[in-house]
Amino acid sequence: IEISKDVLAKIKNNLADRLKLVGELVEGSAKGKCKYITGNLRGSITHKVDRDNLTVTIGTPVEYAPFVELGTVKMSARPFLRPALIENRERIIKLLQI
């Protein structure tokens, strides 16, 4: 079966749109789970869709985020990204089904 370039482009765009929904879902959930004092970390959580490679990245550029997520010798972990992903697993699967 040969699929036209137009059909493939539509499928790719549809998947990219669905990845955007996944990014919005997990970003929102992570923000809700993020404990905050100043709100800097919480406000920095974003998502970005790479439409060419069909990937979505959810995270934060804040340099201390890994210490909050994973903890340190002196501080217990306060994860917000991994639980946001894990708790939304079923919704993510449904969003990505064609």
Residue 69: the pLDDT is: 97
Report, as ranges of residue numbers, the positions in the chain whose pLDDT lies below 70: none
Instruction: Look at residue 3 in the predicted model and tell me its pLDDT.
Output: 83
Write the pLDDT tens digit of every residue in 35-62: 888 899 999 999 999 999 999 999 999 9
pTM of the model: 0.91
Residue 41: what pLDDT? 97
Residues 6+ apart with CB under 8 A from 39: none
Query: Over the chain, what is the mean pLDDT?
Result: 95
CA 88 to chain centroid: 10
